């Protein structure tokens, strides 16, 4: 039993190393090849099951970008996947495996909602007060998510605990405790569903470009801003260099004067801060309250696949998230307008991840066909 986490970590190490060693062209080729082959195999499976593969492909497109409503739904999921994917990529890029993004976004989301509800009586009504409460909620989510992720970081850095085990266990703790609270002391007496009180009027992100009340272009803008900040921080600052060095070459980091233990904790904290934003955006932009964590969705777990598809590159997370957002959006449409089981979409996602985890296949094909580029 104790060997399983070690084998899992070694496997993830191999995947990360192979992806990081690939050139820019190889990374693009891996992503495009993975997606194309996954869709092709998915269509073959649909046909083998006795369904119309062309109709299935059409419904995938229509359900993701076929109308304004479908497109905004895709952007809504994409926003959450971007933030969650960046949270995973930050840790993975530094050689630390944060599998606890799901729990950290739950903690961040409930901290966001509670901070807004507690402060609302002391803030004047109106757009200014609502904007102030929204900022407070976002800040509370960042702090709570960061602190919750710092715990496994400390356990790993100073006590040698396996972060894969600790972050997975902390997922269950967060979901269990928050689920109990939302269905217990935090649930209003008149609520027919498991939820907290509604956020005050004025709290939220305005729709602006699109009329969808559950999506705001500001939320997407916030996610893209986080991508930019993290990408610059990891590639253009000494802190980013220390993160990667401490994760993969702790002895080299120590020799150069870097405290690898402190850097590991900082890496996990930064990852959790971004994860906390996922919960805040979900609560503020989509729900307007906080629900039972079991009904939120598996954004934190899906983000692992998003990060792998993006080669753990924060910028690459954006197109990878768009793909996953489109697949998530088309799932409900396929379920309603087609007799093809919606589970096939999950299968397609699984095939994408499978091909991404075997990049040497694509690199070998590229070299055999003369398409392989030089390492950069």
Integer angstrom CA distances of residue 122 from 143, 188, 220, 241, 284: 21, 20, 30, 43, 19
Site of tokens 């309250």 = 289
Name which of 347, 299, 314 is nearest 77 in CA terms: 299
Percent of the chain whose pLDDT exceeds 70: 85
pLDDT in tens, 203-251: 999 888 888 889 999 999 999 999 999 999 998 898 888 887 776 666 6
Contact assessment for residue 42 and residue 346, using Cβ atoms and an 8 Å cutoff: no
pLDDT in tens, 69-78: 999 999 999 9
* pTM of the entire predicted model: 0.87
Mean model confidence pLDDT for the chain? 85
pLDDT value, residue 1: 47
Tell me the average pLDDT across 275-282: 97
Q: What are phi and psi of 2, to 5 degrees?
A: -70, -20
| Planar angle of CA 199, 203, 205, nearest 5 degrees | 125
pLDDT value, residue 2: 47
Q: What is the largest CA-CA distance in the chain?
A: 68
Contact assessment for residue 110 and residue 290, using Cβ atoms and an 8 Å cutoff: yes
Contact assessment for residue 107 and residue 144, using Cβ atoms and an 8 Å cutoff: yes
pLDDT value, residue 19: 47
Contact assessment for residue 90 and residue 317, using Cβ atoms and an 8 Å cutoff: no
User: Is pLDDT larger for residue 340 or for residue 23?
Assistant: 340
Per-residue tokens: 191: 């609520």
**Confidence check: pLDDT of 144 > 80:** yes
pLDDT in tens, 14-65: 554 554 555 666 667 777 777 788 788 888 888 888 888 888 888 889 999 9
**Residue 373: how many other CB atoms lie within 10 Å:** 15
Domain 7-368 -> CATH class: mainly alpha
Name which of 90, 277, 110, 89 is nearest 182 in CA terms: 110
pLDDT in tens, 167-192: 999 999 999 999 999 999 999 988 88
Name which of 121, 101, 104 is nearest 112 in CA terms: 104
**Confidence check: pLDDT of 375 > 50:** no
User: Is pLDDT larger for residue 192 or for residue 7?
Assistant: 192
User: Is pLDDT larger for residue 312 or for residue 109?
Assistant: 109
Q: Provide the residue count of the chain.
A: 376
Binned at pLDDT 50, 70 and 90, residue 374 comes out as: very low
User: Is pLDDT larger for residue 338 or for residue 320?
Assistant: 320
């Amino acid at each position: 039993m104790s060997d399983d986490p070690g084998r899992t970590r070694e496997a993830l190490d191999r995947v990360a190393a192979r992806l990081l060693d690939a050139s820019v062209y190889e990374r693009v080729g891996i992503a495009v090849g993975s997606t194309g082959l996954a869709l092709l195999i998915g269509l073959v499976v649909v046909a083998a099951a006795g369904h119309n593969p062309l109709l299935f492909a059409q419904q995938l497109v229509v359900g993701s970008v076929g109308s304004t409503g479908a497109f905004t739904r895709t952007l809504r999921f994409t926003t959450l996947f971007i933030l969650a994917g960046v949270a995973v990529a930050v840790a993975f890029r530094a050689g630390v495996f944060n599998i606890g993004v799901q729990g950290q976004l739950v903690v961040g989301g409930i901290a966001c909602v509670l901070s807004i509800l507690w402060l609302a009586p002391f803030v004047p009504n109106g757009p200014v007060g609502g904007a102030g409460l929204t900022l407070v909620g976002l800040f509370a989510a960042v702090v709570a998510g960061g602190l919750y992720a710092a715990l496994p970081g400390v356990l790993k850095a100073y006590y040698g605990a396996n972060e894969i085990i600790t972050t997975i266990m902390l997922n269950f703790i967060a979901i269990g405790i928050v689920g109990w609270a939302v269905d217990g002391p935090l649930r209003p007496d008149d609520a027919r569903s498991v939820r907290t009180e509604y956020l005050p009027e004025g709290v939220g992100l305005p729709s602006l470009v699109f009329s969808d009340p559950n999506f705001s272009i500001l939320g997407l803008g916030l996610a893209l801003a986080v991508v930019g900040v993290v990408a610059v921080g990891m590639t253009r600052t000494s802190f980013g260099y220390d993160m990667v060095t401490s994760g993969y070459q702790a002895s080299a980091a120590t020799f150069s004067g870097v405290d690898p233990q402190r850097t590991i904790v900082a890496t996990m904290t930064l990852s959790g801060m971004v994860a906390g934003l996922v919960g805040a955006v979900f609560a503020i932009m989509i729900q307007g309250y906080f629900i039972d964590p079991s009904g939120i969705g598996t954004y934190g777990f899906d983000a692992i696949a998003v990060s792998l598809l993006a080669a753990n590159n924060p910028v690459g997370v954006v197109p990878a998230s768009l793909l996953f957002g489109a697949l998530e959006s088309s799932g409900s449409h396929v379920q309603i307008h087609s007799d093809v089981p919606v589970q096939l979409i999950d299968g397609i996602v699984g095939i994408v991840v499978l091909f991404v985890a075997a990049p040497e296949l694509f690199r070998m094909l590229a070299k055999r066909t003369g398409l392989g580029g030089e390492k950069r």
